[in-house]
Structures are given as structure tokens and as C-alpha cells.
Structure 1
């Protein structure tokens, strides 16, 4: 049996291929051969298709444009034609085909026809289209995100694409930034230490780089950013570039810092409040002991005749006096010092006291006095204010042993809500004592107003100076602020509520109040009760007092012509809100003002009916009480 020729073997090979349609066309485009793959893809047998024009496989749209003829012309001109497109089977269904057409020439170079190879790649097209659709959706998603800057970097760090979030956050349009190096988003300080390069080194090594820090917008402003850089690799592990996601978290950072400051302020406030309660209790007990000693010394002084005994008695009496002074400072810090408040212009108070202040410093210190000529009046105990001012000036002097400048100034200021600690919004008087001395470290400044805390040598100071100032200011409804830096001096600022025209009317009315009006003052703290009672007496009221709600109710039952009830809210037996409700039942029309050291919102959570009454926060002022009483009318 003879073996088939090479040509016959090749013919058998082509005819048996099922995955490709391989067939010949005449120079005019008629089918002249047909393999098994062609029959499988297109549905025609060789008898049905040989001799017919290959345009039969094209869609009506392509035939209408005379595409088959153009294809053959292109193959002749270019030496090959290759494309993908829709083709039609015998049953009319379509498939997506990969098509290659090569012109075939004889040994003389004459066109013998065309070799045509077609493959059905419909499934691959579906998969590819699905991927493209997915990529497009992802691209639209990324482009539509405005809260995040999402963009790509080349392996060298150049920006290669740019989404809407990047434009919103960083301020650059795509045409302004694509092709630019991403290091321009970093601050000068970060660029100087090589942070952008370190980020690109870290991401490929560890898979990602993440940090928070300042970044720079196109206009030069800064924002606090959370940044993630991921290394992007191909299937072989080669670095293609980086995906970078940036978010502006400035507001979140500011909120977190504000919360931290609030927590720290609350901690300091609670610590000082606890120290204040302890200090106040010690001071009251100490006062009692000093009273016993002072009375005993007066009695003994009558009995002692010797010169030595008289000197000893005098020294002991001086010690008692110094102890009494210290007690007053303790009470001032604890905000339990009875104040003799009146309306003053602090410029006038400082002017009368200026000579004393100048004597408190030495010649090496320049004393600079700057007073606002239009200063508003305040409600203050002038003597206590002078003592506080002397303490501040003395501290400033001690901070400048080699000389310097001490500046005392006054000014009107408008504060926003909580701009200075927890002070309400409004008009305040700011009194500032500034020195150019040694300053304080942050740790020392944080403890500066604690009683008995001092950095001076033993015997050189009691540590009560700033404590006394702080207590006085707090008791007057103000606050104290310390700004200091080691080697650059210290600025102590006192804020006191300014009086306006309304306060003037209230104070005036205090002097003309009906002398026979009666006020019932209730507080479980004896000293607070005494001060509050004295305040109402100064307004012209006949005052009755009780140290608990039960006692107050008994007085109301016995004395139904009481005009005003002024009561603390938090008391051990019956709280002030319940007392006020019962008082209105017993004495219809009674004016009620409630007071508490707790803020009104905190009290509202426990007893919403407190909103039915006028309320003042401790420490309160005379003018404030008068406004509340007027509001009840």
C-alpha cells in the first residue's frame, strides 16, 4: 500500500481540524474548500457551500456597506487582513469570530485565491466584555467617589489617573496633576526628611504603606490626611505601580483633640474641685482652732505681767494673725470666702493701688501699665481683687530676678461660648499680668493653681498666691488663663463678667427694693447660706433662712407672706425642685429662683420640671439674681 503524499497529508490535517474554520476562496471570493471546523462553526456542509460567495457569512449590515469586497481588497493591499466581528451561521444565528485572510499566489506571483481562517470566540468575547463592563463600573465608581482621593501612581511616583474626590480634596484638575510627582502633596518638612520616597519603598516591601499626617492642597492650605498606598503587581510579580487612597480627616482629628482637651479640662476641674472641698473643710476647722487660740491669748495677756511673757504673747498673736490670713486664702481658693461685692471700674481700683504694686517690684523691672479708657464696670470685692493683683505682681517679680518688663493691662473682650474654658458667651473684662521672666514648664503650669504647690525655696512662698486668685475669679463668675513658656515669660489673664446697662438697672433696683419684702433662703451649706442671706439683705429684703427643705416648708407654713424663695437644688433631704413645687402650693405667686453648682442640662436629665423655675449656676452674681427676679414678674 502506497503512502499518501505530503500534500495529501496536509489536506487530511486541515480537513480534520474542528476548532478552526479553514477554507479557501477563489480570487472572486467564492468558497473552493471546506473543512470540518467550518462545517461545525457555520452549519453548512461542503456540498451546500462550495461555489457560493463568502459574503454569505456576513451580517446584513456589513453586506450593505460592501464590507466583504473591502476585506479582500485590504488583504491584497496589506498582504493580510485580520479582525474580530459578528458572522452569521446557516440557521441565521450570530457568533463572534476572529478572522484572518491571507492572499495566496502561485509560483509566478499570480493571485490564486485567499486562505481564510475563522474561529468562534463568542465565549471569550462574553468574558472579555464582562470584564470590561466590570472595569468600567469600577472606574465609574472610583471616579464618582468624592469623599476619598483615589488615584494611581507609576512605579516612580508620578500620578497616572485622578478621581473626583482627589480633585475636591486636593484642588487639582486631572490635566494639572497627571504626570506630576506625588511628593508635591507633602509638606516641605516631610519632603526634607524623605517621607515620600520612604512611602514608595515601604509599600512594595510590606505590601502597603499607611500613615496620618499633614498634606498640602493646590492653594497651599494644609489638611490632616489618612493615607494608604498599596503596591500593584502583575501576574509575574512585577511592580506595575501604586494605588493611593487619601482621606481628609481634619474635622475628625480636631474633634478628637477637642474631646481630649475637654477630658483633660474636666479632670483638672474635678481635681481642683476635690482639692477645694478638702481645703475648705480644713480651713473651717482651722478657723475654729485659731478662734480658740486667739481668745485664749487675749485672756492670758491680762494675766501675764513679765516683759518676756508679754513678748511671747505678742509673737503668738502674730502667728494667729498669719494663720487667719492663710485661712482666708484657703477659703478663697475653695470659693467659700464671703465677698463684699460692689460695682467698680477696675481702672480706678488699679489706679488707687498702683503705688503699692510699684513698691512690690524692684528698680530692675520696668512697670508698664496699659488700661482701656472705655473699660466696662464689674461686680467685684475690691479688697480681694487688690490682694489677687498683688499676688500676681509678686509672682511676676520673683520670675525676673535679673530684671525685665512687667505689663499690667485691662481691656473689654467679647468671648464666644467656651472660648475660655467653660465661660458663657458675652462681654468680659480681661485683666492681664505679663512678665518676661523664666516662665514655667507645662507640668508646672498644669499645677500652678493648686494650693500649696510652689517652685520656690522652702520659706520663700506658701503656694497660695495663684490659688487665691483662681478662687476669687471663679467666685465672681469668671476664669483664669495661663500662657507660659520656659525662658519666654508668663502671661496670666483674668476674665470677669462685665456689667451692662441692664446690670446697672438691677443694681439700682437693689437699693430701692421694698424694704418689707421677705425672702426665704435655703442651702444645706452654712457658709453658702450665710452669704446668700446677706446678699438678699443687701437688696433690702427681710431674710429668713433654712439649712434644709423640711425646715423651709415649716417656715412657709408659718409665714405665708414670703415673697421670694431662693434655694439650692441638691440637698440631702428634699431637693430644691420639689421644695419649689410645694412652696407654690403653700404660697401661690411666690417668686422662685433655684441655684446649683451643677449645670442646668445635667439637672434637667434628672428632673425636667426644673425648667418651670428661674435658675442660676453657682457661683452667682448679684446682678444675675436680680435679672432672674425681674424675669419672674
Structure 2
């Protein structure tokens, strides 16, 4: 037997024993002509059950209907090889996923003798791949559906390659708008100039992670505070193939943390000032006792000494020094909230108007001093201490601006939420602000500005007790002081006083006075009308705008009379009167105007006819007469 026959027998024996592959021969027509152990294992057929049958037996009905078996043989014959994967059918009808290779066998003169077919059962491999694909798809869907985090991939150069819903929501951009662009587009101009994006990628590649917080820019140009993590992505050969970037918008968390920190600082400052107040209060009381001895001694010397002529100048100097010492202790006691106050319900606008001349004299003519009086309610405080506080603030502003500059005194109404300003409770407040465009203060100076004896002025130019007195007054009046300042940008100091809401049992009610609400946008007219109503026996409440009047009507359900100007900038008196009838049913309403009734009726129509009208100028007797008419 020749060597070639032996080799052929060995090969045939080897193929017949292989179990991991189905290896068999087909005729030129596709009939099975040989069958190995692997084919029997995969397909379930014995050799005598399948040899002679067409190989299409192993295909599904759908594949046979589409002519897949014949196409496979055609491609193998014409292309020299056919490879495919697909479902195949076992003898028992079950399916398995097969990897198939068909090679044509040609004889002499390129005559087709048949085909060699190798089939492998890769069902488990396919299931593993499908499971992996499903897992990857679930992960992709999970990442895509996350909206609280911007999760996206970058190329090694930092170009954006994909984009999830969170990125779309946080950055406010669609994927098509960012695809292929550099991720540095989300950094501020300052960070770009500093090379922060490049540093981030370099750190992530070198150290395996980059994490930071900072300002980032949305697609619409707005900023948000971001927490950022960048991780490098390497392939199996440790080659960098990109970066995974996760960004979270933590603006609200940062603002809450800053608010907490500001609250802690305010509490610490309040406790510090409280401790200093106790110390200075004790010192001031002891010092007052000493001053009392000195002042009493001077009085006794004047009363009992027959000849003090030669010592009069000395005694007068001693007396002036004692009075100055008494003034200083008064300021210390004010800071310590131990200064006895004569608390009264005051009209802030009227106090400022009556004290305006004094305030203006404190400011040089070369500087600008502006007073802007917005609507404010009445406050409970000491009038003399309030005036002293205003003067202290204006003098400080004058010193800050020098011979030129601008100083303003502004009043406004504010409704504060709980703890919005320091530890103040919620409610309505009168806010008085003295603002200047002077030198300003550093944060450290601003923090210490309210401490007694702290001053940045030259020796002999200030005692450091002016702001201490202001602080003590607001604290004793249930309010607070705030300071806004920066070097070169001026200073604004605001005093907050709780607005007084009338309650049963007040003096006016005990005296049986009816309440009248007077509304006019002209301060001089308003003050005069208030005086008229007070002379007529009313408790007069003033408002210089319709908005303030509505606020007061909501607070005082017992107002009997509304006396309002018709033509006002924010809301006309007719609309105010209509609103007043809704808020206080049964209220008596009298309108007034400098216009005659004819033009007013052209403007307001029948609505004006619902109310009585008195034209300006009016006399007290005219007002009294018309009031009796509307009340009858």
C-alpha cells in the first residue's frame, strides 16, 4: 500500500472521529455523502439516516423558502468559499446557532466533484454575545436616561463623541449642537485662558482621575457651579482611547452652603458684639458713677464757694470735659443696648423731613446729597436717638467722599422672610439706607465697623462710637444694621426697623378716635392733610402711594375713612377706592384732586361718580363738611 493511501486513510479516520466540528461531504447536487462523529453529535442523525439526503434538511423552513441552501452552494462554487452564521435544525426539531463554511471540490478540468462542509455549534457563544450586547444596551439606556448627571465621552483630544439626556438638560444643548466640538466650550473664558481644560485631561491621563468644582457655562450663556469627574479610558494594550466625563449641577447645594456659612458668620459676629456690649455696658455704668461724683462736686463748688472767679475757667473746662464724658458713656450704653430710650411710634418720613436741614448742613456744598423717600410704615424707636443715628451715618459718608462725591438717604418698605437679614423674624420693615460713592471698606474693616472705639479715621477725627450707637439703637428697636461695601466702590449702610401694625388697645382706640388713611404722592400735601385730620380728631395714617395704602388697608381692618388723591403714578385714586371697598367693607371714601371734576369724568367715566370728590386747594372746614356728608 502506497504512502499516499496511508495518509488518506489517516485523514479520513481523523475526520470521522472529530466531535467539535460537523465535517461532511456533499455531492455536486448537495446530497450528503459522508458523515463524521461531530455531525452526528450536532445534528442528531446516524450516518444511515442522513447519507443520500439533501443538506437543506438542516435549514429552517423560512431559509428553504428563500432558497438559502442553493444560494450557499452557488456562492461556494463561484467565489471559492462560503461562510455564514444562522439557525440550523437538528433531527429532533430543535434549533442551534451554527457557523458554516462550505468549500467546493474540483477535479481534473475544473469539474465540480462536490463540497466540503464544516459546521460548528456556537449557540453558547452567541448567547454570551447577546447577553453582553443586552447588558451594554441596558447600560447605554441607563446612561442615556439619567437626567441628574451630564455623562458623555471625549476623544483623546477632548472632542465630544456622545451625549446623554442629563447633558442635554444641564448644558441646554442637543447632541447635534456639540458633536465633534471641544469640551472646553463649557469652561469660562478665565479658565480657558488659564489652560484649565488641558490641565484636566492631562491630570486624568496621568493620575487616572480628575475631580474638581467650578463655574461652567451652559449653551444659553448662563453659568452654573459644577462638580466634575473625568476618567481616562484605555484599551487592552493600555492605549488611551478617550475620556469619560461626568458633570453635576450643584449650584443650589453651593448656595445653601454659602448661606449656611454666612449665617454662621453672622451668628459669630452677633455673639462677638454681644460680648463686647456687655463689657462696654459695665464700663459705661461704672464710668457714669464717677462722672456723677465729678458733676455733683462741680455743682457744689458753684453753690457753696463764695469766690470762684479766679477758678471759673478751670471749673468750666472741668464741666465741659465731664459733659463730653457723659456723651461718650451714652454712646457706649446705646451700643450695649442699655441706653434708656423713649420709645414712640414715629413716622420715618416726617422725622427725616423735619431733620433734613441738619443733615444737609453736615454735607459740604461741593458734594451731592440726595434724599429719596419711598413708602414706609411707622416704627417704634427713640426720636432723638434715631436722628443721631442718621447724622452719624451722613457724617461717616461725608468723610468717605471728601469734598466731592454723592451721598443718598433712601427709605423703602420691605417684607422679609424668616432670617433673610441676620436673625430678624419675618414681617414688614422700614429700611433706611445711607449710601455713598466714597473710598469703601475692606471686608475686615466692614466686619469690625460696628465695634465700639474701632475707627479708621486719623487720631482726633473720630471716636469709633458713631456706628456703635446706630447698632445699639436698631437692636433696642428690634431691628438690625447691614453694611455693604468694597474698596473704591463706596458703602451702603441700611437700618431695618420693624413696621408697627396697629393692634386693639392702642392709645388712639382707647381714646375712641376713628382712623383715617390719607394718600397723596406729594409729601408736603400729605403732611398738611395729616395735620388737618388730626385736628379734626382722627388718628391719621399716611401713605404716599396706592401700593402702600393697600398694604395698610390689609393691616388695619378698622380704618373708617379713606381720603385719597385721584391722580397718582402707580395706581389712580379711583382704582384704590374700589379696592378699598373690597378690603374694608363700609369704609367712607372721599377723593381729592387739583383737576376739576369735568376733565376727571372724561378720564375716569362713571367710575368717578361712585365717590364724593373735593377739589384742591381745600380748607379744614371744607374737609370736615364733606366728611360729615360721606359718613351720613
Does the alignment reach a TM-score above 0.5?
yes
| Alignment-derived partner of residue 327 in structure 2 | 325
* 1:76 maps onto 2:77 in alignment: yes
Q: Which runs of 5+ in 1 are unaligned?
A: 514-633
* 1:183 maps onto 2:166 in alignment: no
CA distance in 2, matches of 1:254, 1:497: 27
**SS of the counterpart of 1:274?**
helix
Mark the CA change 1:505 to 1:81 in structure 2 (over 3 Å): closer, same or farther: farther
CA distance in 2, matches of 1:459, 1:307: 32
| Alignment-derived partner of residue 247 in structure 1 | 248
Alignment of 1:376-455 (within 5 A): 376-455=377-456
Alignment of 1:240-389 (within 5 A): 240-304=241-305, 305-372=307-374, 374-389=375-390
- 1:95 Cα offset (Å): 2.7
- 1:505 Cα offset (Å): 8.1
| Alignment-derived partner of residue 138 in structure 2 | 137
**SS of the counterpart of 2:452?**
coil
User: Quick check: 238-247 or 349-358, which moved more?
Assistant: 349-358
**SS of the counterpart of 1:227?**
strand
Residue 158 of structure 1 contacts residue 179 of structure 1 at CA under 8 Å; is this kept in 2? yes
CA distance in 1, matches of 2:153, 2:423: 47
- 1:28 Cα offset (Å): 1.2
- 1:69 Cα offset (Å): 2.5
| Alignment-derived partner of residue 230 in structure 2 | 229
**SS of the counterpart of 2:147?**
coil
- 1:268 Cα offset (Å): 0.9
CA distance in 2, matches of 1:143, 1:400: 59
Deviations 1:194-245 (A, max 9, x none): 3223222222111121111122223222221111111111111112211111
- 1:92 Cα offset (Å): 4.1
**SS of the counterpart of 1:108?**
helix
- 1:13 Cα offset (Å): 4.7
CA distance in 1, matches of 2:423, 2:397: 26
* 1:208 maps onto 2:205 in alignment: no
* 1:154 maps onto 2:155 in alignment: yes
Alignment of 1:89-100 (within 5 A): 89-100=90-101
* 1:509 maps onto 2:509 in alignment: yes
- 1:402 Cα offset (Å): 4.6
Aligned residues: 511
Root-mean-square deviation (Å): 2.6
User: Quick check: 40-49 or 160-169, which moved more?
Assistant: 40-49
CA distance in 2, matches of 1:364, 1:450: 31
TM-score, normalised to structure 2, is 0.75
- 1:140 Cα offset (Å): 2.3
Residue 434 of structure 1 contacts residue 490 of structure 1 at CA under 8 Å; is this kept in 2? yes
Residue 344 of structure 1 contacts residue 380 of structure 1 at CA under 8 Å; is this kept in 2? yes
CA distance in 2, matches of 1:218, 1:78: 55
Mark the CA change 1:159 to 1:464 in structure 2 (over 3 Å): closer, same or farther: same
| Alignment-derived partner of residue 125 in structure 2 | 124
Residue 301 of structure 1 contacts residue 310 of structure 1 at CA under 8 Å; is this kept in 2? no
CA distance in 2, matches of 1:191, 1:107: 75
- 1:16 Cα offset (Å): 4.5
Residue 55 of structure 1 contacts residue 63 of structure 1 at CA under 8 Å; is this kept in 2? yes
Mark the CA change 1:107 to 1:227 in structure 2 (over 3 Å): closer, same or farther: farther
- 1:263 Cα offset (Å): 0.7
| Alignment-derived partner of residue 471 in structure 2 | 470
**SS of the counterpart of 1:399?**
helix
**SS of the counterpart of 1:430?**
strand
- 1:157 Cα offset (Å): 2.3
CA distance in 2, matches of 1:107, 1:171: 72
Residue 450 of structure 1 contacts residue 467 of structure 1 at CA under 8 Å; is this kept in 2? yes
User: Quick check: 119-128 or 502-511, which moved more?
Assistant: 502-511
- 1:439 Cα offset (Å): 1.1
- 1:78 Cα offset (Å): 4.2
| Alignment-derived partner of residue 173 in structure 1 | 174
- 1:375 Cα offset (Å): 4.7
- 1:115 Cα offset (Å): 1.8
CA distance in 2, matches of 1:507, 1:337: 25
CA distance in 1, matches of 2:168, 2:298: 84
Residue 227 of structure 2 contacts residue 250 of structure 2 at CA under 8 Å; is this kept in 1? yes
CA distance in 2, matches of 1:300, 1:34: 142
User: Quick check: 71-80 or 192-201, which moved more?
Assistant: 71-80
Residue 483 of structure 2 contacts residue 494 of structure 2 at CA under 8 Å; is this kept in 1? yes
| Alignment-derived partner of residue 524 in structure 2 | none
Mark the CA change 1:321 to 1:512 in structure 2 (over 3 Å): closer, same or farther: farther
| Alignment-derived partner of residue 577 in structure 1 | none
Mark the CA change 1:478 to 1:504 in structure 2 (over 3 Å): closer, same or farther: farther
